[in-house]
Chain A
Amino acid sequence: MSVVLSRSEVRGESRQYVGNVLHRVLCWAREEGVQAAPFPAWNLLELVNGVPGEHFFILMFKNSQHFLFKFLVIGSAGTGKSCLLHQFIENKFKQDSNHTIGVEFGSRVVNVGGKTVKLQIWDTAGQERFRSVTRSYYRGAAGALLVYDITSRETYNALTNWLTDARTLASPNIVIILCGNKKDLDADREVTFLEASRFAQENELMFLETSALTGENVEEGFLKCARTILNKIDSGELDPERMGSGIQYGDASLRQLRQPRGTATQNKQQCNC
């Protein structure tokens, strides 16, 4: 969203007034936690003094999101699913992580291709005994991170089972990205990159090797998945309106800026996304 003030309308007395309004807008934006930046860069004094430039903008990124995606993190026990989530949300490595009990929850708002998307992420327990519980969370997931441990062939071998589960229990359109975690432990590697990427290709998965410890590719994994979903929405392949799609339209209202008083300022609303 942006406020567009045309210079020709900022004359005389109203010039100072417009400066004040813009100042108020920026203050409001800060209080609201909305990202806002003047464009082109100017300071208010210049504006008041009538600095050249045809238009003044304030760019605003709303906190309010366009979409909400439901994500899953699945994979065998001990592959580092919770650590991946923690790294993604808190931006740090989770020390002394215990076995997840049941299903944990995390969320983060990300910006993908100019759209604000809230990721609602369900981090499932890998242990067998929780399998039936975690399965009940699959339905209505839009995307999934399928995680294995590159230092453990066992977790790699289990991938087929996880994949079948995800494809049958979640929606068939679920977007899955394969994550070979613990990339930092390259010395103990039991699964090669090539092998895994072939597996991914065969099963139409995206593929990344990640490290929850260093944070390498973690953000990328989630974003890649979200981007693919957005593309599918754009191409009409996914319908957010359908129940159980795991996609919801954003919850926040359209925030609009105040129109300055008196002056017949023209307020255009255009999406800068």
Chain B
Amino acid sequence: MMERAMEQLNVQLNRLTRSLRRARTVELPEDNETAVYTLMPMVMADQHRSVSELLLNSKFDVNYAFGRVKRSLLHIAANCGSVECLILLLKRGANPNYQDISGCTPLHLAARNGQKKCMAKLLEYNADVNICNNEGLTAIHWLAVNGRTELLHDLVQHVSNVDVEDAMGQTALHVACQNGHKTTVLCLLDRGADINRPNVSGATPLYFACSHGQRDTAQILLSRGAKYLPDKNGITPLELCVQGGYGETCEILIQHHSRLFQTLIQMTQNDEIKENMLRQVLEHVSQQSDNHYQRILTSLAEVATTNGHKLLSLSSSYEAQMKSLLRIVRIFCHVFRLGPSSPNNGNDMGYNGNKTPRSQVFKPLELLWHSLEEWLVLISTELDSNKKNPSSSSSSSEIASLLLKQREGDHTSSMAKLPSLLDPHIIMETEMYAEGEDVISMTANRLSAVIQAFYMCCSCQMPQGMTSPRFIEFVCKHDEVLKCFVTRNPKIIFNHFHFLLECPELMSRFMHIIKGQPFKDRCEWFYEHLLAGQPDSDMVHRPVNENDILLIHRDSIFRSSCEMVSQSTNEKLKQGIAVRFHGEEGMGQGVVREWFDILSNEIINPDYALFTQSADGTTFQPNSNSSVNPDHLNYFRFAGQILGLALYHRQLVNIYFTRSFYKHILGIPVNYQDVSSIDPEYAKNLQWILDNDISDLGLELTFSVETDVFGAMEEVPLKPGGTGILVTQDNKAEYVQLVTELRMTRAIQPQINAFLQGFHTFIPASLIQLFDEYELELLLSGMPEIDVQDWCKNTEYTSGYDPQEPVIQWFWEVVKSLTQEERVLLLQFVTGSSRVPHGGFAYLMGGSGLQKFTVAAVPYTPNLLPTSSTCINMLKLPEYPSQEVLRDRLLVALHCGSYGYTMA
């Protein structure tokens, strides 16, 4: 008894020491579940000696499946490539074909992970190569997915059919093609894989290669005679290539199936295909050779011409054809600009009569331009005849309608009375003119779209930024018709006449029409065009280059900003701004906003003497004495840059300029009204001269002013010989204008010029012209918040109005119903400024000190609009009979009259 106990103790002690020495258990637990978790890490590490030792005397079932996916240890070994353990397990009778919960055998796992030796061993132990997992994948699929060609060579020896399908009908060849494993594809093909095998949706290996842009694989398949087959939905491999933008693969397809070239060209008409992808493909194919280049462009030009002609036929859909035409022309121009790959594509810029081989490609389009010309000539004839016969046209239509009435009234008598007037000729003529109007309105949109296409084609032959003389000539020639188009339908300007923004000389012709369009539309157009040349300038998604960050010192914000901005290039600044304050972590849009805010405050800091406050205390304009700062012109240029940059990136600045300075930015001449912001008293005097007959007053004014120049009074002539010219009733307007210019412009001309120089580096002068001075203020400084209650509380009434008056009640109800934008317009209309002063309406400034918003009564006559006197913040509101009329009239006044003054 004792001995046995001793012996047992000894064994246990022995075990204990062994276990401790090896830092693991030396005997497997009884139950499989615990045992398998003991073994698993050893199998993973391929510690085959330990495993074999543990398995030696145990009752462990080697096929025991465990875990969530119910795998056996053999799976683990195959998966991890633990070949010794694998052999051990197989020797101990592990089932090589055991499937886990997803149907995978150890062979699948070995194949997936490329465990060559394990796979070989499993095959040796007769693992079944044809077992599918639950998705129908066999070992051969797994090898093909990952392109393990070497293993595949081994495996195919055991496979009778390499075309075994998975649940989707896909063979190994499909998956290999999809993933572009060249050697795998070759190996499978050599083993007799079916090259044209469709899967359940009809997709062939070539289809898969194309859908993933596997150029080399597609090449192999095509050279081995793969057929070009669409899937069951009729989607072709070419379409897939184009959708993915795989130019190289497309080119291979076209090489093997030359007819696909035309198909590719025709795709430009299909708006389901992404334009940039198609462009990318055509770009690539055209770069292959001069011949490709010529063919693609000529074909595109032909397609564009047909499309343009279809657009000009009135029964076609304007939207669809227009989009299609412009898309084709855009692609055409893009490919043309890139030029063929050969280096000698040289200098054949300029539209010189299709002489050079490169510009030959434009030839088919000439047909379209010819039709365009003829159309415009036709319309101009229609316009002329309408103009010449406006009376005859209207009178004959009147007669016709008169006749119709009479005919209705008394059939027989009128017929007898007016036989000559019933002449069908007259009626036909009437129809003609009515139709003439129709022709213009029906074709204007369509012709404008073709004009846009024409412009694109003309300018893609010119160096960037230049307008083709041919196009300028074209616009000049058809000036009248084009103006007629845009007057009837101003939307055309924004939709099609982008050329206006690119050439100021043409823009000026249309300016008056453009200015009449809603601010919002112009704004959109402005930014659309401003950013047109830029790649997506999205700082949020673009990694910022450390060197491009503007590092600003808070304590010398003006100087350090100036330095940083001058060090950067304009192009970089246009792409995006990243600002970091010295010693701070923060970056991003918030910091940029803060920077613009602080910096704009600094720019008007009186310490720099750059800008001076105007009479109303809130607006600024260049200081005529800024030269006390010797570097002042550089600083003005910098200020201009900052403002331009802010506008470019839609950042608001915290500066409000005087009306006259906004006009300077826009290049609009100033008028005497603008003087009131810097010298209200003097402005009143000018106003008085204009309002009253001065002939009998004996003012004895001449065209000159006395100025204090370094303490001495000096007479400065307003124009050559001005000191000798008397101001009379007839020339007083000119006098006022010249005096105004002297006060407002001449004194600060160098500062203005420097500022504009900076401003124009970011905002082209031609673009900013789209706005007036009020709108520019909104663009630069943003829309102010207006508190209607405060406004209402601080309003006075004169000339018979009192707050209880129904008209006044209506007025405030209307104001409450206005949009924020319209309220701003109203404020601008009455006070000349879009802003509410600090502290609210109570602090509204007039020409001479505090001046509350005032509403004055005016006797009502029909159609009378409200007017205003901005110097005294007075709205002259006619006593309208109803709220509707008031609202209507007020809105008309706001939308038409917020700029430009008529003295009332």
* Residue B629 lies at the interface, judged by CB distance under 8 Å to chain A: no
* Docked complex Cα distance between A132 and B375 (Å): 8
Nearest-Cβ distance from residue B328 to partner chain A, whole angstroms: 14
The reply to whether B313 and A254 contact each other, CB–CB distance below 8 Å, is no
Nearest-Cβ distance from residue B265 to partner chain A, whole angstroms: 8
Told that A101-B438, A102-B443, A129-B381 touch, could you supply 7 new A-B pairs with CB distance under 8 A?
A: A31-B234, A101-B314, A101-B435, A102-B312, A104-B315, A252-B263, A257-B229
- Report the 3 A-B pairs with minimum CB-CB distance, sorted nearest first: A136-B371, A105-B313, A133-B374
* Residue A165 lies at the interface, judged by CB distance under 8 Å to chain B: no
Closest A residue to B266 using CB positions = A251
The reply to whether B263 and A103 contact each other, CB–CB distance below 8 Å, is no
Asked if A136 meets B370 with Cβ closer than 8 Å, knowing A31-B234, A255-B230, the reply is yes
Residues of the A chain whose Cβ atoms lie less than 8 Å from the Cβ of B378: 129-130, 132-133
* Docked complex Cα distance between A132 and B378 (Å): 8
Residues of the A chain whose Cβ atoms lie less than 8 Å from the Cβ of B236: 253
* Docked complex Cα distance between A254 and B312 (Å): 32
* Docked complex Cα distance between A32 and B234 (Å): 6
B residues neighboring A (CB under 8 Å):
163, 194, 196-198, 202, 204, 227-230, 232-234, 236, 238, 257, 259-260, 262-263, 265-266, 302, 306, 309-310, 312-316, 363-364, 367, 370-371, 373-375, 377-378, 381-382, 435, 438-439, 442-443
The reply to whether B263 and A256 contact each other, CB–CB distance below 8 Å, is no
The reply to whether B228 and A104 contact each other, CB–CB distance below 8 Å, is no
* Residue A23 lies at the interface, judged by CB distance under 8 Å to chain B: no
Residues of the B chain whose Cβ atoms lie less than 8 Å from the Cβ of A256: 227-229
* Docked complex Cα distance between A254 and B236 (Å): 11
* Docked complex Cα distance between A272 and B758 (Å): 73
Nearest-Cβ distance from residue B304 to partner chain A, whole angstroms: 14
Give the residue of B202, B260, B312, B377 whose beta carbon is less than 8 angstroms from that of A103. Answer: B312
Residues of the B chain whose Cβ atoms lie less than 8 Å from the Cβ of A31: 232-234
The reply to whether B375 and A105 contact each other, CB–CB distance below 8 Å, is no
Interface centre among B228, B236, B309 (most CB of A within 10 A): B309
The reply to whether A254 and B230 contact each other, CB–CB distance below 8 Å, is no
Give the residue of B260, B310, B375, B381 whose beta carbon is less than 8 angstroms from that of A253. Answer: B260
The reply to whether A251 and B262 contact each other, CB–CB distance below 8 Å, is yes
Residues of the B chain whose Cβ atoms lie less than 8 Å from the Cβ of A135: 374
Residues of the A chain whose Cβ atoms lie less than 8 Å from the Cβ of B375: 102, 133
* Docked complex Cα distance between A262 and B194 (Å): 8
* Docked complex Cα distance between A257 and B204 (Å): 12
Nearest-Cβ distance from residue B282 to partner chain A, whole angstroms: 16
* Docked complex Cα distance between A101 and B163 (Å): 62
Interface centre among A99, A135, A137, A253 (most CB of B within 10 A): A253
The reply to whether A99 and B229 contact each other, CB–CB distance below 8 Å, is no
* Residue A232 lies at the interface, judged by CB distance under 8 Å to chain B: no
Interface mask (A242-273 → B, CB under 8 Å = 1, otherwise 0):
01000011111111111101100000000000
The reply to whether B313 and A261 contact each other, CB–CB distance below 8 Å, is no
Asked if A261 meets B163 with Cβ closer than 8 Å, knowing A102-B312, A136-B370, the reply is yes
Residues of the A chain whose Cβ atoms lie less than 8 Å from the Cβ of B262: 249-251
Nearest-Cβ distance from residue A106 to partner chain B, whole angstroms: 8
The reply to whether A136 and B374 contact each other, CB–CB distance below 8 Å, is yes
Residues of the A chain whose Cβ atoms lie less than 8 Å from the Cβ of B197: 261
The reply to whether A253 and B313 contact each other, CB–CB distance below 8 Å, is no
* Docked complex Cα distance between A132 and B234 (Å): 44
* Residue A69 lies at the interface, judged by CB distance under 8 Å to chain B: no
Residues of the B chain whose Cβ atoms lie less than 8 Å from the Cβ of A140: 367
Nearest-Cβ distance from residue A33 to partner chain B, whole angstroms: 9
* Docked complex Cα distance between A253 and B194 (Å): 23
* Docked complex Cα distance between A136 and B369 (Å): 9
Residues of the B chain whose Cβ atoms lie less than 8 Å from the Cβ of A132: 374, 377-378
Please name 25 pairs of A and B residues whose Cβ atoms are closer than 8 Å in the assembled complex, sorted by A. A31-B232, A101-B435, A101-B439, A103-B309, A103-B313, A104-B313, A104-B314, A105-B315, A105-B316, A122-B309, A132-B378, A135-B374, A137-B371, A251-B263, A252-B263, A253-B238, A253-B260, A254-B228, A254-B257, A254-B259, A256-B229, A258-B196, A258-B227, A259-B196, A262-B194
Interface mask (A148-167 → B, CB under 8 Å = 1, otherwise 0):
00000000000000000000
* Residue A28 lies at the interface, judged by CB distance under 8 Å to chain B: yes
The reply to whether B435 and A28 contact each other, CB–CB distance below 8 Å, is no
* Residue A120 lies at the interface, judged by CB distance under 8 Å to chain B: yes
Interface mask (A27-38 → B, CB under 8 Å = 1, otherwise 0):
010011000000
Nearest-Cβ distance from residue A234 to partner chain B, whole angstroms: 20
The reply to whether B371 and A101 contact each other, CB–CB distance below 8 Å, is no
Nearest-Cβ distance from residue A78 to partner chain B, whole angstroms: 12
Nearest-Cβ distance from residue A113 to partner chain B, whole angstroms: 21
Number of interface residues of A (CB under 8 A): 35
A residues neighboring B (CB under 8 Å):
28, 31-32, 99, 101-105, 120, 122, 129-130, 132-133, 135-137, 139-140, 243, 248-259, 261-262
The reply to whether B371 and A133 contact each other, CB–CB distance below 8 Å, is yes
Give the residue of A32, A130, A253 whose beta carbon is less than 8 angstroms from that of B263. Answer: A253
* Docked complex Cα distance between A248 and B306 (Å): 12
Asked if A99 meets B435 with Cβ closer than 8 Å, knowing A28-B202, A129-B378, the reply is yes
Closest B residue to A100 using CB positions = B314
Nearest-Cβ distance from residue B268 to partner chain A, whole angstroms: 12
* Docked complex Cα distance between A132 and B230 (Å): 46
Residues of the A chain whose Cβ atoms lie less than 8 Å from the Cβ of B265: 251
Residues of the A chain whose Cβ atoms lie less than 8 Å from the Cβ of B302: 248
Nearest-Cβ distance from residue A263 to partner chain B, whole angstroms: 11
Give the residue of A103, A253, A259, A262 whose beta carbon is less than 8 angstroms from that of B228. Answer: A253
Nearest-Cβ distance from residue A3 to partner chain B, whole angstroms: 13
The reply to whether A136 and B367 contact each other, CB–CB distance below 8 Å, is yes
Residues of the A chain whose Cβ atoms lie less than 8 Å from the Cβ of B257: 253-254
Give the residue of B229, B234, B260, B313 whose beta carbon is less than 8 angstroms from that of A258. Answer: B229
Nearest-Cβ distance from residue B263 to partner chain A, whole angstroms: 5
Nearest-Cβ distance from residue A239 to partner chain B, whole angstroms: 16
* Docked complex Cα distance between A136 and B197 (Å): 51
Closest A residue to B195 using CB positions = A259
Closest B residue to A98 using CB positions = B435
Nearest-Cβ distance from residue B436 to partner chain A, whole angstroms: 9
The reply to whether B232 and A28 contact each other, CB–CB distance below 8 Å, is yes
* Docked complex Cα distance between A6 and B302 (Å): 45
* Docked complex Cα distance between A259 and B197 (Å): 8
Closest A residue to B196 using CB positions = A259
Nearest-Cβ distance from residue B173 to partner chain A, whole angstroms: 12
Nearest-Cβ distance from residue A90 to partner chain B, whole angstroms: 12
* Docked complex Cα distance between A256 and B236 (Å): 11
* Docked complex Cα distance between A120 and B381 (Å): 30
Closest B residue to A32 using CB positions = B234
* Docked complex Cα distance between A136 and B316 (Å): 19
* Docked complex Cα distance between A139 and B260 (Å): 27
Closest A residue to B299 using CB positions = A248
* Docked complex Cα distance between A254 and B259 (Å): 7
Asked if A102 meets B232 with Cβ closer than 8 Å, knowing A133-B378, A136-B374, the reply is no
Nearest-Cβ distance from residue B853 to partner chain A, whole angstroms: 55
Residues of the A chain whose Cβ atoms lie less than 8 Å from the Cβ of B438: 101
* Docked complex Cα distance between A253 and B239 (Å): 12
Nearest-Cβ distance from residue B441 to partner chain A, whole angstroms: 11
* Docked complex Cα distance between A102 and B370 (Å): 14
* Docked complex Cα distance between A136 and B312 (Å): 12
Closest B residue to A28 using CB positions = B232
Closest B residue to A82 using CB positions = B315
Interface centre among A129, A249, A257 (most CB of B within 10 A): A129
Nearest-Cβ distance from residue B199 to partner chain A, whole angstroms: 11
Nearest-Cβ distance from residue A262 to partner chain B, whole angstroms: 8
Residues of the A chain whose Cβ atoms lie less than 8 Å from the Cβ of B309: 103, 105, 122, 137
The reply to whether B314 and A102 contact each other, CB–CB distance below 8 Å, is yes
Nearest-Cβ distance from residue B690 to partner chain A, whole angstroms: 52
Residues of the A chain whose Cβ atoms lie less than 8 Å from the Cβ of B373: 136
Residues of the A chain whose Cβ atoms lie less than 8 Å from the Cβ of B377: 132
Residues of the B chain whose Cβ atoms lie less than 8 Å from the Cβ of A252: 259, 263
Asked if A258 meets B259 with Cβ closer than 8 Å, knowing A28-B232, A102-B375, the reply is no
* Docked complex Cα distance between A120 and B309 (Å): 11
* Docked complex Cα distance between A136 and B442 (Å): 19
Nearest-Cβ distance from residue B341 to partner chain A, whole angstroms: 24
